[in-house]
Amino acid sequence: MLSRGVMTQSLTIPRPDDWHLHLRDGDMLRAVLPETARDFGRAIVMPNISPPVRTGADAAAYRDRILAALPEGMTFEPLMTLYLTEETDPSDVAAAFETGIATAVKLYPAGATTNSAYGVKDFTKIYPVLEKCAEIGMPLCVHGEVVDNDVDVFDREAVFIDRVLDPIRQEIPDLKCVLEHMTTRDAVDYVNSSDDGLLAGTITTHHLIINRNDILAKGLRAHNYCLPVAKREEHRLALRAAAISGHPRIFLGTDSAPHTDANKFQPCGCAGIFTATVTMPLMAQIFEAEGALDKLENFASRFGPAFYGKSVHETTMTLEKQDVPVAFPKSIEAAEGPVTVFDPGYPIFWKVV
């Protein structure tokens, strides 16, 4: 519901969900969880903690730690994922899904991103798990990049679709897949070309805002470095068009990923952008700028639950536009050090009220 007043403009939508989130563990979990739980009702929680969440028992224990870290008075449902390895047991995966412990399995190509060393090198070895997932209707969430040294980092997503994802989907046509954190027109086109209802794509907050110039031009900006890395402007514009398109299988997955400033500024700095604090105000501002504020409800609150077979929240969120910029914290304090909140490079005029 969109309303306008003399000095304000507001939008009320069902409470949104985050379909791709990193919460880490321990002190970092306790520091960043409130930033997500304040706005989002549910989130698909990534399993690449250390050690990773590889079994149903791991997922149940991690879920308990998340719920124990949730501040009193906040409501939030973590949807757990299992870290797929070449040794993953299909029966354990099925049991975790059927008992409600795990919502999806997550495919990391080995070496593709943070804590992905346990990931997959030989994709044929995971076919028994994927066949079981197809049989029971359990989604496969995909970090869509190859890691071959002969493939340019800016081409890794497009090559992954051709070499890995499409062959998997051809071999196991009933498998439900989510191509997470899309960064290219190629990924958008691939999701758009699928007409079987089994392929979805998520888009992050930051990939709607930054391109590769925002990482590399005028000096290296570590806080804008993520994986998959932001691409050319033409790809950012394709993502913006996809987000507002009303495609029912394209929805919000922030990939909000906390790292301390000290870890971001290492000689080999960590990949990840922490966006949880500002995502929904930025979503309102982006969709307003695109003349599509009425499309935000579907992108943030409806399309994700529909794909994952969840109900839309009965509770609501109201976003309100201010006539002066809203002040957000520059960082979140964790025991290990500060975690910088994503700065889009321009004033934000929307806030959650």
Q: What are phi and psi of 114, to 5 degrees?
A: -55, 130
302 neighbors 16 (Cβ within 8 angstroms): no
Burial of 2 from C-beta contacts in 10 A (0-12 / 13-18 / 19+): middle
pLDDT of residue 4: 60
Nearest to 348 by CA among 330, 308, 321: 321
Q: Whole domain around residue 86: which residue ranges?
A: 2-352
Instruction: Give the integer Cα–Cα distance in Å for 78 and 49.
Output: 15
Q: Which long-range contacts (CB under 8 A, 24 or more apart) does 166-175 make?
A: 166/190, 168/123, 168/127, 168/130, 169/198, 169/199, 171/127, 172/127, 172/130, 172/131, 172/134, 173/198, 174/134, 174/135, 174/198, 175/130, 175/133, 175/134, 175/140
32 neighbors 254 (Cβ within 8 angstroms): no
pLDDT of residue 115: 64
Q: Which residue has the tokens 């009425």?
A: 294
| DSSP letter string, 22-57 | ---SHHHHHHHHHHHHTT-SEEEE---SSS---SHH
HSE-up of residue 18 (Cα within 13 Å, Cβ side): 32
15 neighbors 316 (Cβ within 8 angstroms): yes
- Find the catalytic residue in 17, 92, 186, 255: 255
Is 148 part of the annotated catalytic residue set?
Answer: no
pLDDT of residue 114: 73
pLDDT of residue 218: 85
pLDDT of residue 10: 96
What total number of domains does the chain contain? 1
Mark the ranges of the chain whose per-residue pLDDT is less than 50. 5-7
List beta partners, residue 333.
Answer: 338
Instruction: Give the integer Cα–Cα distance in Å for 214 and 344.
Output: 10
pLDDT of residue 7: 47
- Residues 176-199: b if buried by 16+ CB within 10 A, e if exposed: bbbbbbbbbbbbbebbeebeeebb
Instruction: Give the integer Cα–Cα distance in Å for 228 and 191.
Output: 17
- What's the full length of the chain, in residues? 353
pLDDT digits (tens, 9 = 90+) for 31-86: 999 999 999 999 999 999 999 999 999 999 999 999 999 999 999 999 999 999 99
| Maximum alpha-carbon separation in the chain | 61
Nearest to 79 by CA among 314, 316, 305: 305
The CATH number given to whatever domain includes residue 79 is 3.20.20.140
Q: What does pTM read for this prediction?
A: 0.96
